[in-house]
Structure 1
Amino acid sequence: MSVVDVPLRHPRTLIGAACWTTIKRFRPLLLLAVACAPLTLAAPAPTPAQKGFIVGTVRNEAGQPLAGATINADNLLVSNSNLSATTDAQGRYRIDVRVAPTTWRVTARLNLRYGEESVGAALHPRGSDEVPGRVGGVVDFVFRPKPVTSADPYGNLGKVMFERDVNDNDESFDWKKVQVVLKPVGRLADGTAGQARTLSPIRTGSGWLIPNVMYGTYAVTASLNGRPLELRRRTPDSDQPYRTTYTGGFLRDYSPTDLNMSLEVRLP
């Protein structure tokens, strides 16, 4: 008998009636498991290099492209030779550096709209920020809070700054035991709804503050060892009433260049 003449057997006789019955019983579950298996989304493709150009993409932490970011290439040898570009709808940019063979340092900023204000936030390169001229290279950027260090405790976003009322002389007050709750009210400058956060102020050369707060309006409460504190907006004339919840945003009260939220606190 040739191979093609071998009679085909029913699957039940090949694997056994018991096994076949088991497969039939669990077949719907097997199909459901395959259908519901999670899909693995591919990471954003790396930006391809282009000889003689600095190219890259700007994204947020979720991997979404960001349009309108300003990219600057600073020639490290020739002064006043900066080149710039703006990212397109896909977050891409391209700068021609064939004009000079020296090294270029690349930086990026994203302008955030907050009310009628426009404030720039520094972006972070995913790798080296230096590129050789005429050769070119890829410098991708990501928009995220700048890590806070002892050398630079201010971050790259808004700061909520605190100062004690000059008439509050309670010796039990300890900044290290203060907790602050920031609850967003409406959309933030990055377009998200944000989320409530409980944070502790840190001590800096500019006083006690909370760095890296996305610009927006917040309902702010504070407590010392669980005891509610009273807050008010800090102004030159200090005529604002104290409340246990302060609702407000970021202003240029004490800095012409930075948007901050400056608050006074006291024990009731």
Structure 2
Amino acid sequence: MKRYIWFFLLLSLSCSGDKKEDSSAGMIEGYVQNADGTAIPGVQIIIDNSIFFNSNLSTKTDADGRYKIHIPTGSWYAFAIHAPVYNGRQYRIYLHPDNAIGFGGEGATRNFVWQLTGAKPEPLSGYYGGVVTIDNFPGVYLDVTKIAFRFEPQGMLIDGSEGGVLFRSATDGYQILDLPIGRYKVTAQYGPDKLKLRPWNTEETFKEELIFDFEPQIAGNCDNCFKIEYNQ
């Protein structure tokens, strides 16, 4: 009888040891940082179920930019959403994962970095940068692809870094994609002629220089964007 008791006791200790070695299973963890390596606290981490709609887990990064969540069996993706305030506006920005591949209930490590430009990996779509949409004043019709826009940063960009002057055109005829979010002074040239600009769908006076911030959201239209109207 005593032999049986010792056998089960040893078996129990062996099993508990296995569990201790497997303590990392069922855990998603990582860190979030700026492009310069600075930790970002308070970033929302969403662990989204890839099969069941609106079924997710959520937490925020700590003071060191780290997070950890226990996850059940399932199929998951990890996302990080930063909500910085810039020039009085609050933005909602997806951060770039070091690995965008989904994972199961065994757990994984997913780290994120605040990237100002570039294409978002699947299952997301679009770009990390802002979008500028171009429209014309009624009766003024130009080949938008031939309008040269110059964007000059006014102060630091949204992540606190220093931007540079950008020269872009609307290659698809109506949008300029993936500009680092910041405050800009924009001018436009059509051949030898300077165009006049104003915010779209307003009664503001057209000017050769327009200073703007990206809108965090234009309801039913776009996020992190700005719409410009041009005139001759």
TM-score when normalising by structure 1: 0.67
Structure 2: how far apart are the matches of 1:166 and 1:67?
47
Kindly tell me the number of residue pairs found equivalent between the two proteins: 206
Partner residue of 1:262? 227
The answer to whether the aligner puts 1:129 opposite 2:101 as a matched pair is yes
3-state SS in 1 of match to 2:24: coil
Partner residue of 1:168? 140
Which structure 1 segments of 5+ residues have no match? 1-48
Does structure 1 conserve the Cα–Cα contact (< 8 Å) formed by 2:157 and 2:181? Answer: yes
Q: Percent identity?
A: 27
Structure 2: how far apart are the matches of 1:89 and 1:266?
49
RMSD: 2.8
Structure 1: how far apart are the matches of 2:189 and 2:113?
35
- Offset at residue 77 of structure 1 (A): 4.9
The answer to whether the aligner puts 1:209 opposite 2:180 as a matched pair is no
Structure 1: how far apart are the matches of 2:176 and 2:125?
9
Structure 1: how far apart are the matches of 2:67 and 2:216?
32
- Offset at residue 223 of structure 1 (A): 0.9
Correspondence 1:64-213 to 2 at 5 A:
64-77=38-51, 81-97=55-71, 100-133=72-105, 135-144=106-115, 145-147=117-119, 154-169=126-141, 173-203=142-172, 208-213=174-179
Which structure 2 segments of 5+ residues have no match? 1-22
3-state SS in 1 of match to 2:84: strand
- Offset at residue 252 of structure 1 (A): 6.5
1:218 partner amino acid: Y
- Offset at residue 253 of structure 1 (A): 8.2
Does structure 1 conserve the Cα–Cα contact (< 8 Å) formed by 2:217 and 2:223? Answer: no
Structure 2: how far apart are the matches of 1:202 and 1:209?
7
Structure 1: how far apart are the matches of 2:132 and 2:75?
38
TM-score when normalising by structure 2: 0.76
- Offset at residue 228 of structure 1 (A): 1.6
Distance 1:65 1:229, change over 3 A: same
Structure 1: how far apart are the matches of 2:170 and 2:125?
11
Relative to total residues, which structure has the larger strand share, 1 or 2? 2
The answer to whether the aligner puts 1:222 opposite 2:194 as a matched pair is no
- Offset at residue 66 of structure 1 (A): 2.2
Structure 2: how far apart are the matches of 1:104 and 1:148?
17
Larger radius of gyration: 1
Distance 1:185 1:164, change over 3 A: same
2:47 partner amino acid: A
